[in-house]
Amino acid sequence: MKKDLATVSLLAILSHRAQEQPDQQAFIFLKNEETESISLTYRELDKQAKAIAARLQSWQGERALLLYPSELEFITAFFGCLYAGVIAVPGYLPRRNQKLSRLLSIVNDAQAKIALTTASMLADLAQRWEEETELSTQLEWVATDTIAVNLKEFVPQSVTPESLAFLQYTSGSTGTPKGVMVTHGNIIHNQQSIQQAFGHTEQSIFVSWLPLFHDMGLIGHVLQPIYVGCPSVLMPPVAFLQKPVRWLKAISKYRATTSGGPNFAYDLCIKKVKPEQLANIDLSSWALAYSGAEPVRAVTLEQFSKKFAQCGFNYRNFYPCYGMAETTLFTAGGERNQSPVIRGVLTGELEQNSVVESEISSDESRSFVSVGGSHLGTTVMIVNPESLTSCKQGQVGEIWVSGGSVAIGYWRKPQKTQETFHAYLADTGAGPFLRTGDLGFLLNGELFITGRIKDVIIIRGQNHYPQDIELTVEKSHPALRPHCGAAFTVECKGSERLVIVQEVERSYLRKLDVKEVATSICQAVTAEHGLQVYAMVLVKTGSIPKTSSGKIRRQACRSEFINGSLNVVEDWSQNT
C-alpha cells in the first residue's frame, strides 16, 4: 500500500484492500474457540458496507445507533455509516432484563434518528424500545443484514481529516456518558501510533473477545487490522467470560501475535483455567500481550506468566499501555520485547503526592507498572490540577495530553469540551491540552498511573487510591468476588469516613458468615492502609454498578449507598 494512502482515511484504505487483495480474509468470527461460524474478505466487507451506505445516505450527517452483538454485522454497519457520511454511535446490546435508561440517555444526547441492528434482533428491540421509552417515534429501525446489494445506488461521500467519523460514548465510570467526537484524522493518527508502538505488520494476527462497541475492541481489533492489512479473529465477550480458556485456545489455534485486554482478563485466566486444560495450548506465537483500560497489577503479570510459561508464554511479551476514548484509544505504551518496567514507591510519601522510590518488596511501598511513553508526536505531561502548572519529575499530578489522536470534544457539550479539551498551562501558556482526569507521575520518561482524580479518597489529609483498598478487600476473604468492590467516602460529623461495597460470590450467599467477613475486611484494611472502615455493604452477585466496559462506577455506587438502593445481602457499620 502506498504510504500517502495510509494518511488519507480508513475508507480509502479499505477500498484499496478490496481492489488489491479482495479475497484475503479480514475477519473471522468464532461462536466459541472451536466453531468458525463466518468470515469476511476485504471484498465482501467493502461490498456489504457500500450496500448499507446506499440505504443510509439519505441520512447523511445524522446519527445512527448501532445495536449489535459483537459479530461481523457490527463491522459492516460501522463501515456502512462511514461510507454514507452518517455518524455512527456504537451502543451496547441490552440484556433482556436490563433497563434501557443508559441507552436512552445516549440516544437523547446524540439525537439519533435511526437504529441499526440485525433482523433477528429487530422485533424484540423495537418492541422494548416502544414499551420503555417515549422516543419510539423518533427512531427508524433498520435491519442491515437484510439490505440487498445494489452498488449502483451508492454515492461516495468526500471525507477530510476534519470530518466527524463517529461518536464514542465514554463508559461513564465517574459520570453520565459523554459522546467523544472522533474525526477521520483522529482515527488515522491513532492507527499510525498503534502500528508504530506495537510493531504490527501484514504478518500480524489478532485475536480478541473484547466488545466491538467499546473503543478497545473497535479501534484495536477492527480498525487496526484493516489499517495494517492483517486478519483479525473475533469471539463474543460472553464466550471468554464463561470459559476464559477459549481465549487462549483461539490464540493457540490461529497463532495470534497480538491479543490482550484489561488486567481482570489475565486474572480470570489465572483463576479459572485448570492445569489439565494447558496440555494442547501453545502461546509461543503471542508476541504482544497488551494490558490496559484499568490498573495493571505487577502481581497479575507475574502470576500469569508463571502459570502459562509451560505453554510458551514469555513474560517479556507483556505490553502495559494507557489510553481512553478522548484520545481515540491509544495514548502511551512501552517498548516491544522488553520486560514491563515496575517501580516501588513509598506509600507514606505517595499519600502526600510525592514519589520516592523504594524496594519493590518493601512492606512500606507500593508497586507500579509503567505504561510506557508517548508516540508519533503525542505529548504527555503531569500537571498540578489546582495551580495548572507542570509538575517536576517525582510528583503526582493530573495527566495532560496533546497530539493528533486527541478528539475534538464532546458532542453538544461546549462547556465540558472547553474545560476538558482546551486546557492551558498557567505558567507558560502552553496548550491546548486534554485534561484526562487521571493521576500519575513520570520517572525517566516512563508514565505511571495512580488513579482517577474524582475517585481519590482523602482521609485526614492523606490520599488513598480506591483500587488499592478494593484489592485488599477482595483478597481478605474467599466469599468476596474479585473486581466487584467499591471503596469511597461519605461525610459523617464533619469527617470523611471509609465505606466498602462488595459483591459476594454466589456460592457463599446461603452460608455467609457476615461477622467473619466483616472482621476479615476491617483487619485487612487497617493493616494495609491504616484506615478504619466506617460501613460495609455486602451486595448480591452481579449487582454492583459497573460501566458497559466493566469498570466499577464508584460515584454511582456511593449514590446508591446514600439513597439505600443497593441490592443488599447484609450490611455492617461501626455501630453494629
CA distance 299 to 504: 23
47 and 183 part of one domain: yes
**In what side-by-side order are the strands of the sheet with 87-91?**
140-143, 114-117, 63-67, 87-91, 164-169, 179-183
CA distance 499 to 496: 10
Q: Is the dihedral of CA 51, 56, 58, 61 positive or negative?
A: negative
448 and 493 part of one domain: no
| Confidence (pLDDT) at 324 | 94
Query: pLDDT of 254-309, one tens digit each?
Result: 999 999 999 989 999 999 999 999 999 999 999 999 999 888 999 999 999 999 99
> Which of 181, 207, 242 is the last residue in one of the domains?
242
Q: What single string gives the DSSP state of each residue in 127-163? A: HHHHHH-S-GGG-EEEEGGGPPP-GGG--PPP--TTS
* Domain span including residue 176: 4-242
Q: How many CB atoms lie within 10 A of CB 542?
A: 11
Instruction: Please report, for the domain that includes residue 44, its CATH number.
Output: 3.40.50.12780
Query: DSSP 3-state assignment of 417?
Result: helix
| Confidence (pLDDT) at 576 | 55
Burial (0-12, 13-18, 19+ Cβ within 10 Å), 242: exposed
- Report residue 523: phi and psi, to 5°: -65, -40
386 and 428 part of one domain: yes
73 and 221 part of one domain: yes
| Confidence (pLDDT) at 556 | 87
Q: Which stretches of 243-378 are assigned E, i.e. beta strand? A: 258-261, 288-291, 318-323, 330-333, 342-346, 357-358, 365-369
479 and 551 part of one domain: yes
424 and 340 part of one domain: yes
114 and 28 part of one domain: yes
CA distance 64 to 86: 7
| Confidence (pLDDT) at 126 | 84
| Confidence (pLDDT) at 458 | 84
| Confidence (pLDDT) at 572 | 86
What is the enclosing helix (H) or strand (E) of 435? strand 434-443
Mean pLDDT of the chain: 91
Query: DSSP 3-state assignment of 358?
Result: strand
> Which of 403, 431, 454 is the last residue in one of the domains?
454
408 and 507 part of one domain: no
396 and 470 part of one domain: no
Query: DSSP 3-state assignment of 351?
Result: coil
426 and 495 part of one domain: no
442 and 462 part of one domain: no
Cβ-based neighbours of 548, under 8 Å, separated by 6 or more: 92, 102, 171, 172, 211, 213, 214
Instruction: Please report, for the domain that includes residue 358, its CATH number.
Output: 2.30.38.10
Query: pLDDT of 209-268, one tens digit each?
Result: 999 999 999 999 999 999 999 999 999 999 999 999 999 999 999 999 999 999 989 999
Q: What angle do CA 554, 546, 541 make, to 5 degrees?
A: 105
| Residue 104 located in a structural domain | yes
| Confidence (pLDDT) at 6 | 53
Task: Report the candidate in 468, 467, 477, 529 with the shortest Cα–Cα distance to residue 504.
Answer: 477
| Ranges of residues in the chain whose predicted pLDDT is under 50 | 2-3, 5, 137, 173-174
Number of folded domains that form the chain: 3
| Confidence (pLDDT) at 423 | 98
| Confidence (pLDDT) at 465 | 84
> Which of 454, 477, 495 is the last residue in one of the domains?
454
Dihedral class, residue 226 (left if φ above 0, else alpha if ψ from -120 to 50, else beta): alpha
| Residue 300 located in a structural domain | no
